[in-house]
Structure 1
Amino acid sequence: MFGSIAKALFGSSNDRYVKSLDKIVRKINALEPEIQALSDEDLSLQTQKFRERLAAGETLDDILPEAFATCREGSRRVLGMRHFDVQMIGGIVLHRGEIAEMRTGEGKTLVATLATYLNAIERKGVHVVTVNDYLARRDAEWMGQLYRFLGLTVGVIVPNLNEEERREAYNSDITYATNNELGFDYLRDNMKHERGQMVHRPFNYAIVDEVDSILIDEARTPLIISGPTEDKSELYVAVDQVVKHIAPEHYEADEKQKTVTLTEDGVEWAERQFEQAGLLVGSNLYDVENTMVVHHLDQALKANVMFKRDIDYIVKDGKVVIIDEFTGRMMDGRRWSNGLHQAVEAKEGVRIEPENQTMASITFQNYFRMYPKLGGMTGTAATEAPEFYDIYKMNVVTIPTNVPVQRVDEEDEFYKNTHDKFAAIARLIRERYETGQPVLVGTVSIEKSELLSDFLNAEGVKHNVLNARFHEMEAHIVAQAGRLGAVTIATNMAGRGTDIQLGGNVEFRVDDELAEMPEGPERDAAIERIKAEVAEEKRKVLEAGGLCVIGTERHESRRIDNQLRGRSGRQGDPGLSKFYLCLEDDLLRIFGPDTMFAKMMNANLADGEAIGSRYLSKAIEIAQKKVEARNYDIRKQVVEYDDVMNDQRKVIYEQRADIMDAEAVGDVVIDMRRDTVNTLVADACPAGSYPEQWDVEGLKARAYEVLGIEIPLEEWMQEDHIEPERIEDHINALADARMEERVASIEAAAWSNLEKAILLERLDYYWKEHLATLDALRQVVFLRAYAQKTPINEYKQEAFGLFEKMLEGIRIDVTRILMTAEFRMQQPDPMPLPDLPDFLTQPGLLETHIDPLTGENDARPIPSPASSLGMLGAQGPGQVPMGTNPWADQDISRNAPCPCGSGEKYKHCHGAMV
């Protein structure tokens, strides 16, 4: 109560904070006459003056008023747009590393220029992050005019750029890019073998557009670079054939968690089926030997029971393409992990692509937390403010609109079933259509959008459908959704990147209607005609009531509903929004009020009858909050587990950078050899044991295997008071002598390059294997909860032990190769350097990320590690150089160890060339 009174008297904390920024805005406005008096040349020279002031000791905050005033005047001259005062407030919020929540149509793209320009003056680089490539290109070209006028350089990162083009773009003062491109470039940089091949420079400042979509929706899954593993398609097909015949009483499905579990009878039935199919070892499905079969069974059950065609995915050109739950867009290249995508492919009878092994990964949370300063902007962030602060330490600041909002948000209407609801929606749309009022309808799936389309066809309403099947035309459809009588069905409006302007969009009409017309007086006259038509049409649309937004059901997240609503009422325009719901909606069915409520609704509502009440709207909001909290827990868990890996990732990537930067790594190699000797001796001669208890033969064998030396251990043990430390000294002396002999036969520079190359190659190999192990650990660690243990704590302990073991493996392996392998000089074949480094041109590598906002192909093949040894080839005892296969004519099993002694399977080593 007291809080409400205080808020009424003094305003909310957000209102007070925004009001405190007015004094800075007044300073900026006071400078406007002075800045306007400058010539174009003097205005563009302002940037250099600001740099001189920074060099003299001033801070960005000191020059903020002048810089913002300069940017505003530059925008007025170059773009024809002058920043409003509320946009100035938004720019200050972005500069301070906070999130500016601004309604749709308030000009967030222009707001970003203020903070971008100010921070780019330092020349440390500013990244402007967009949700798709189209927006990155558009904004870089559009706003780039302003930046270049003010003396700054602008780059844009889009797919299919070569390494040099990417490096140049990152070295610009301002770089536009999507979150995926930035993250994948970071991962690829940390797979390279030379510092000069890396494209990123040190992180400085980033502004994230649609910050809620990128840092929350997309942050539920990590970015992954992966490579293929062995083919198991036959097993997927065999298990799928069994699952297709399972009876509903043999399993229990949980739609909320999207899981399927077998009943006791179901387990017995599955065991009989798998025995007949010859897939079971023994008769017990849950014996350890049948772990792989159980895993495939779980995924096949989920694929056949929980995942529906044309809702969760579609089949296009013989491939299973995922449909995003948020936007309804096709997400070419995205694949479900852990064998689920293969199970769906087996279900649909299409070609089964092999599973992939993770080679590098990072979550968006940990990627963006590497920026010393991070700002963001969106139309809907307030509902997720606690998460933004908990994860990113970013405050959400709601910026007031430039003109008061006139949109009317009507109460929700409830119906008994989907048919009644869609019939009511179709009737309302027809009424609005007949008056000329444009209508935008938001649906949550392809199925629902096409169902509504059928209803509208029956009503005789002409309309456009915007969903995964037609997303190529989306920008043009959205741009004209505000025209007189336009009816647009959109699967989701998040991150579309195009404002709906009442009366239509002049720019898009010019592109569509005058694309073939050459420049000249005739084209100019046609453009003026289109402008006049749009102005007249806007007047008629305003008279009809502005844009009418209809939601066919509530989304899991209130943000998505608000994004749909926000399309109406742009810049003070009139508008209307209304949501229609029924008991068959997924949100109400899975998360909504209890069964008694549903029975009451069914009993008291006649067919076609609607009900509206604040209680019902409140119940829906409570259900949405439950889902939001659950999704936050999922994302938080992703972060907690990735934080463990992130600490290790930092160590590995820092070591790689140190190795690449070092002129020579001889000291590192010596330390590794010393640690390896210490490990060998400690294993054979445990502390506190007596010499007669030592594993003499084992130590001699390991010393020969790893160090290539024979040690007279029995002779050393004759010494008085022999200690393990003394044995270490003896072994180190012999190892040092052997290494000196080996180094003497190879040129110093070549040996130094060799050490570097082997060190990086082994580091990458073991890190890749470590990631696979951590993935497996994460899948099973939850079982520790049955033993009253906290899974995340258990994961931390296990992961730390595995990391120590990995480092030990790297030390031993590097020492073994350098001490025992035989090296010979090879002349390289004359060939031009590829655009991508050799080690990143391995066929089959994929970039993947679950991207709910783009339908872009996020799984592009990455062009493979050729030998990173340059002129040197390496081979151990008994090995042969890669490029030849002396066992090609022998009958060697593809899964047997390769005869060369590499430790790899034959099919992954010399057999790969057969």
Structure 2
Amino acid sequence: MLGGLAKTFFGSSNERYVKSLGAIVQKINAFEPAISVMSDDQLAAQTIKFREALANGEKLDTLLPEAFATVREAAKRVLGQRHYDVQMIGGIVLHRGEIAEMRTGEGKTLVATLATYLNALPGEGVHVVTVNDYLAARDAEWMGRVYRFLGLTTGTIIPNLSDQQRRDAYAADITYGTNNEFGFDYLRDNMKYDRASMTQRPFNFAIVDEVDSILIDEARTPLIISGPTDDRSELYKSVDLVVKRLVPTDYDKDEKQRTVVLTEDGTEKVERMLEDAGILVGANLYDFENTQVVHHLNQALRANVMFKRDIDYIVKDDKVVIIDEFTGRMMDGRRWSEGLHQAVEAKEGVQIEPENQTLASITFQNYFRMYPKLSGMTGTAATEAAEFYDIYKMNVVTIPTNLPVKRVDEEDEFYKTTEEKFGAIAKKIREHSAKGQPVLVGTVSIEKSELLSAFLTKEGVEHAVLNARHHELEAGIVAQAGRLGAVTIATNMAGRGTDIQLGGNLEFRVEEELGEMPEGPERDAAVEQIKREIAAEKARVQEAGGLFVLGTERHESRRIDNQLRGRSGRQGDPGLSRFYLSLDDDLLRIFGSNTLFAKMMRNNIEDGEAIGSKWLTKAIETAQKKVEARNYDIRKQVVEYDDVMNDQRKVIYEQRADIMDAETVGEVVVDMRLETVNAIVGEACPPNSYPEQWNVTELKEKVAATLNVDAPVDEWIKAEEAIEPEMVEERIRAAADALIEEKAAELEPETWTQIEKSILLQNLDHHWKEHLAMLDALRQVIHLRAYAQKTPLNEYKHEAFALFERMLSNIREDVTRTLAFAQFRMQEAPALPELPDFLTTHIDPLTGEDDTYDYDGGSAGLVTTRLPQLGIPQPSGGEFGTDPSEWVGVVSRNAPCPCGSGRKYKHCHGALTS
């Protein structure tokens, strides 16, 4: 009660904070008279002035008032739009690394120019993140006019750009792009083998448009780059034929450990057979060029010697199916990793299935937390304020509207069944459309939008249905949803970023009707005529009540409902909103099926009858809050688990960068060799033990297999009265060092350094890839520890740390072994390996579809009709020809269809051939 009283007198904390920013707005306005009389050249020279001030030690906060006033004047001259005072408040909030919640139609795109310009002045780059490629291209061109006027450069990141195009875009002062593209570029960069081939600069500042969609909705699933392992079917088959010609004396097997290794004679025999088959590079199996062959050979040996048909696996329907060793049951869908399954398939002569393995992944939470300063803007964020602060440490600030909101939000109407509800909706739409009021209908799924479309067709109502994910058509349809009597059906999220203006959207009408008309007086007259038509139509729509937003169902999240409602009543326009619900709706069916309310409705409401009250609406909102809390817990758990891997990812990526940047990595290699020797000796010669207790045989074998040197430990023991493990370590290390120094002396220092770097990076990547697979497997089963009264997250941290330690040990040992056994011929230094082909994946949480483009089927460009007009470079879609039958197997299924529809190939012409 006291809190409510204080709020009445002093306002909420948000209101007090916004009020405090008024003093800064007054300073901005004070600059306007002086700046408005500047010439264009003088205004553009402001950027040089600001940069000189920064170089002299000025802070951005000090420059803010004059810089914001400069941007406002530039926007007024270039775009014909002057920032309102409330938009200035939004710009200050963005600059401070907070989230600006601004109602739809309040000009968030224009607001972003303020903080973007100010933070781009130091020249360290600003990223503006959007939800789709269309908006990235549109905003980069639209707002880019302001930036270019003021002397700043802009770049755009869209799919299918070359590395050089991406580098150029990231080198710009301001870079627009989608969350997926920014995230994938970060992962790709950390798979490169050369610093010069990386595209991104160090992170500085990012503004996330539709921040709730990107940082909450899409953050439920990580970005994943996967690719085929280096395994190839023909190589498996060829190596399998070689292994089948071996006899038991060619290898030693340990059934207890389920391992098998070649003997010395067996190795020589295999080398000759592989050489004859044209598989071996050179004559030595252990040359580093043959690493892949050795891996295949080891797996083929295990498959043929250790794994038995009808015991470890069966062959069913031409597929190898694993048999669980404990239950004896078939494990359909499970596959052995590291190429073992393919080796068994080669052994049995069945089709060898390709295996894609995760090469890199990151969640949006951990990606965006790498920015030193992060801000965002959206129409709906207050309901998720706690999550934004907990995960991203960002406060949500609600910005007041420029004009009072006139939209009327009516109470929800409840029906017993979906059919009754949709029948009532169709009649209501026909009634409002007939009097000229435009109607925007929000549905929760494609299925529901098509069902409602059938009802409207039956009622004889003309309407547009928007339920596909091609952004170009989406923007065009939604932009005209405010025209007289228009009826538009869309999913609740559709069209975000596109303003619905009463009477129609001038930009889209001009492009549609005058797209072919050349510039000149005739075109200018036609544009003026369209403006007059829009103004007249807007007046009629306002008389009819403005835009009527009709929700066919409540979403699990109040935020999505608020987004839909917010499409109506922009900039003081009249508007109306109402939601229609039934007991068949997912929210009520899943979360409220046994409530008193549901039982009352079933028993007391007549068929076709509707009820509505504030109490019922409040009950629905309470259910939504519970679902939101549950979903937040799920997302938080995903972040907590990914944080474990994120710490390890940072270590690996930093090590990769250090290796690429270092002039020489000799010290790193020496340290690895030292630790490898320590580990080998420590295992065979435990501390505080006597020489007679040492496992001398194992020590000699391990030293020979890992370091390629002879260690006559038994002779040292006989010759020395008191020998310590430290002495053994020192002698083995000296022999190993001498061997490497001898190899290095045969080559030029630059060549040797490049070889060491290449071996280090390849081993690091190989083991990191395997480690990711191990963590993924661990993540899937760690919840079982809860049955032992243990906390799964704590167990995961412990296990992941142990796996990471083991991975580092394996890297040290493998690098040491590779260098010890490598044989070099006098020729040019080996080129750094190319980045492999891979697939980029991000599963859209709302549709379940992969909303990224893959790279497995050629260089299909972003095929739209609008991007070229915006000046965005793109590959030609014509490279595939005009005959759709020729596209099969050439165009990637997730790439845009070459026909130009804007849809993915698999949903367009590809659907006809799949």
| TM-score (structure 2 length as normaliser) | 0.80
Tell me: CA distance 1:16–1:282, structure 2 relative to 1, closer, same or farther (3 Å).
Answer: closer
**For residue 493 of structure 1, what is the amino acid of its counterpart?**
M
Q: Tell me if structure 1 keeps the 8 A contact 2:225–2:359.
A: yes
Deviation string, structure 1 residues 55-75 (Cα, Å, up to 9, x no partner)? 111100111111111111111
| Structure 1 position 76 matched with structure 2 position 79 | no
Instruction: Report the equivalent of 1:335.
Output: none
Measured in 1, the distance between the counterparts of 2:317 and 2:166 equals 53
Unaligned ranges ≥5, structure 2: 234-312, 336-350, 859-914
Deviation string, structure 1 residues 392-415 (Cα, Å, up to 9, x no partner)? 000000000000000000000000
Q: Name the SS of the counterpart of 2:375 in structure 1.
A: strand
Q: Tell me if structure 2 keeps the 8 A contact 1:285–1:294.
A: no
Q: Tell me if structure 1 keeps the 8 A contact 2:542–2:574.
A: yes
Instruction: Report the equivalent of 2:91.
Output: 91
Q: Tell me if structure 1 keeps the 8 A contact 2:707–2:817.
A: yes
Instruction: Report the equivalent of 1:753.
Output: 754
1:292 to 331, 342, 355: 331
Greater than 6 Å deviation, 4+ residue runs: 229-232, 274-286, 853-856
Cα deviation for residue 634 of structure 1 reads: 1.2
Q: Tell me if structure 1 keeps the 8 A contact 2:322–2:331.
A: no
Measured in 1, the distance between the counterparts of 2:828 and 2:321 equals 56
Q: Tell me if structure 1 keeps the 8 A contact 2:323–2:330.
A: no
Cα deviation for residue 145 of structure 1 reads: 0.8
Measured in 1, the distance between the counterparts of 2:44 and 2:472 equals 39
2:841 to 848, 870, 879: 848
Instruction: Report the equivalent of 1:839.
Output: 834
Q: Tell me if structure 1 keeps the 8 A contact 2:433–2:485.
A: yes
Cα deviation for residue 110 of structure 1 reads: 0.4
**For residue 174 of structure 2, what is the amino acid of its counterpart?**
I
Instruction: Report the equivalent of 2:136.
Output: 136
Q: Tell me if structure 1 keeps the 8 A contact 2:842–2:851.
A: no
Measured in 1, the distance between the counterparts of 2:158 and 2:463 equals 33
Measured in 1, the distance between the counterparts of 2:776 and 2:713 equals 42
Instruction: Report the equivalent of 1:779.
Output: 780
Q: Tell me if structure 2 keeps the 8 A contact 1:117–1:147.
A: yes
Cα deviation for residue 283 of structure 1 reads: 14
Tell me: CA distance 1:280–1:742, structure 2 relative to 1, closer, same or farther (3 Å).
Answer: closer
Q: Name the SS of the counterpart of 1:193 in structure 2.
A: coil
Measured in 2, the distance between the counterparts of 1:857 and 1:278 equals 33
| Structure 1 position 809 matched with structure 2 position 810 | yes
**For residue 695 of structure 1, what is the amino acid of its counterpart?**
N
Instruction: Report the equivalent of 1:307.
Output: none
**For residue 634 of structure 1, what is the amino acid of its counterpart?**
I
Tell me: CA distance 1:289–1:76, structure 2 relative to 1, closer, same or farther (3 Å).
Answer: farther
Instruction: Report the equivalent of 1:861.
Output: 855
Q: Name the SS of the counterpart of 1:38 in structure 2.
A: coil
Instruction: Report the equivalent of 1:716.
Output: 716
Q: Which moved more, 1:588-597 or 1:744-753?
A: 588-597
Instruction: Report the equivalent of 1:879.
Output: none
| Structure 1 position 418 matched with structure 2 position 418 | yes
Instruction: Report the equivalent of 2:116.
Output: 116
Instruction: Report the equivalent of 1:16.
Output: 16
Q: Tell me if structure 2 keeps the 8 A contact 1:494–1:560.
A: no
Instruction: Report the equivalent of 2:702.
Output: 702
Tell me: CA distance 1:358–1:856, structure 2 relative to 1, closer, same or farther (3 Å).
Answer: closer
Cα deviation for residue 165 of structure 1 reads: 1.2
Measured in 1, the distance between the counterparts of 2:768 and 2:321 equals 36
**For residue 616 of structure 1, what is the amino acid of its counterpart?**
L
Measured in 1, the distance between the counterparts of 2:56 and 2:539 equals 54
Cα deviation for residue 839 of structure 1 reads: 2.3
**For residue 389 of structure 1, what is the amino acid of its counterpart?**
Y
Instruction: Report the equivalent of 1:502.
Output: 502
Instruction: Report the equivalent of 2:736.
Output: 735
Instruction: Report the equivalent of 1:337.
Output: none
| Structure 1 position 653 matched with structure 2 position 653 | yes
Q: Tell me if structure 1 keeps the 8 A contact 2:97–2:394.
A: yes
Measured in 1, the distance between the counterparts of 2:445 and 2:796 equals 37
Measured in 1, the distance between the counterparts of 2:325 and 2:780 equals 17
Q: Tell me if structure 1 keeps the 8 A contact 2:321–2:330.
A: no
Tell me: CA distance 1:606–1:467, structure 2 relative to 1, closer, same or farther (3 Å).
Answer: same
Instruction: Report the equivalent of 1:626.
Output: 626
Q: Tell me if structure 1 keeps the 8 A contact 2:193–2:833.
A: no
Alignment of 1:162-311 (within 5 A): 162-228=162-228, 287=326, 290=329, 292-293=331-332
Q: Name the SS of the counterpart of 1:440 in structure 2.
A: strand
| Structure 1 position 608 matched with structure 2 position 608 | yes
Instruction: Report the equivalent of 2:521.
Output: 521
**For residue 287 of structure 1, what is the amino acid of its counterpart?**
F
Measured in 2, the distance between the counterparts of 1:477 and 1:111 equals 25
Paired residues, number: 761
Cα deviation for residue 438 of structure 1 reads: 0.2
Measured in 1, the distance between the counterparts of 2:618 and 2:827 equals 75
Instruction: Report the equivalent of 2:427.
Output: 427
Q: Name the SS of the counterpart of 1:47 in structure 2.
A: helix
Deviation string, structure 1 residues 496-515 (Cα, Å, up to 9, x no partner)? 32111100011111111122
Instruction: Report the equivalent of 1:872.
Output: none
Cα deviation for residue 277 of structure 1 reads: 7.2
Tell me: CA distance 1:583–1:375, structure 2 relative to 1, closer, same or farther (3 Å).
Answer: same
Measured in 2, the distance between the counterparts of 1:441 and 1:817 equals 64
**For residue 841 of structure 2, what is the amino acid of its counterpart?**
T
Q: Tell me if structure 2 keeps the 8 A contact 1:479–1:501.
A: yes
Measured in 1, the distance between the counterparts of 2:316 and 2:196 equals 55
Instruction: Report the equivalent of 2:252.
Output: none
Q: Tell me if structure 1 keeps the 8 A contact 2:506–2:530.
A: yes
Q: Which moved more, 1:508-517 or 1:409-418?
A: 508-517
Measured in 1, the distance between the counterparts of 2:844 and 2:470 equals 18
Deviation string, structure 1 residues 62-91 (Cα, Å, up to 9, x no partner)? 111111111111111111111000000000
Instruction: Report the equivalent of 2:28.
Output: 28
Q: Name the SS of the counterpart of 2:175 in structure 1.
A: strand
Q: Tell me if structure 2 keeps the 8 A contact 1:442–1:492.
A: yes
Measured in 2, the distance between the counterparts of 1:353 and 1:813 equals 28
Measured in 1, the distance between the counterparts of 2:732 and 2:469 equals 68
**For residue 807 of structure 1, what is the amino acid of its counterpart?**
L
Cα deviation for residue 293 of structure 1 reads: 2.9
Instruction: Report the equivalent of 2:530.
Output: 530
Tell me: CA distance 1:286–1:488, structure 2 relative to 1, closer, same or farther (3 Å).
Answer: farther
Identity %: 71
**For residue 536 of structure 2, what is the amino acid of its counterpart?**
E
Measured in 1, the distance between the counterparts of 2:615 and 2:593 equals 11
Deviation string, structure 1 residues 261-318 (Cα, Å, up to 9, x no partner)? xxxxxxxxxxxxx99979999999893554733869xxxxxxxxxxxxxxxxxxxxxx
Cα deviation for residue 491 of structure 1 reads: 1.5
Cα deviation for residue 741 of structure 1 reads: 1.4
Q: Name the SS of the counterpart of 1:822 in structure 2.
A: coil
Measured in 1, the distance between the counterparts of 2:640 and 2:394 equals 18
| Structure 1 position 818 matched with structure 2 position 811 | no
Instruction: Report the equivalent of 1:882.
Output: none
Q: Name the SS of the counterpart of 1:771 in structure 2.
A: helix
Q: Tell me if structure 1 keeps the 8 A contact 2:466–2:488.
A: yes
Cα deviation for residue 749 of structure 1 reads: 1.2
Deviation string, structure 1 residues 725-764 (Cα, Å, up to 9, x no partner)? 1110010111111112111212221111100000000000
Q: Which moved more, 1:586-595 or 1:639-648?
A: 586-595
Measured in 1, the distance between the counterparts of 2:781 and 2:328 equals 16
Measured in 1, the distance between the counterparts of 2:503 and 2:145 equals 27
Measured in 2, the distance between the counterparts of 1:575 and 1:94 equals 29
Measured in 2, the distance between the counterparts of 1:19 and 1:415 equals 44
Q: Tell me if structure 2 keeps the 8 A contact 1:46–1:70.
A: yes
Instruction: Report the equivalent of 1:904.
Output: none
Measured in 2, the distance between the counterparts of 1:751 and 1:862 equals 35
Q: Tell me if structure 2 keeps the 8 A contact 1:83–1:111.
A: yes
**For residue 861 of structure 1, what is the amino acid of its counterpart?**
Y
Instruction: Report the equivalent of 1:490.
Output: 490
Q: Tell me if structure 2 keeps the 8 A contact 1:443–1:489.
A: yes
Cα deviation for residue 517 of structure 1 reads: 2.4
Q: Which moved more, 1:526-535 or 1:370-379?
A: 526-535
Q: Name the SS of the counterpart of 2:776 in structure 1.
A: helix
**For residue 41 of structure 1, what is the amino acid of its counterpart?**
D
Measured in 1, the distance between the counterparts of 2:146 and 2:430 equals 45
Cα deviation for residue 516 of structure 1 reads: 2.5
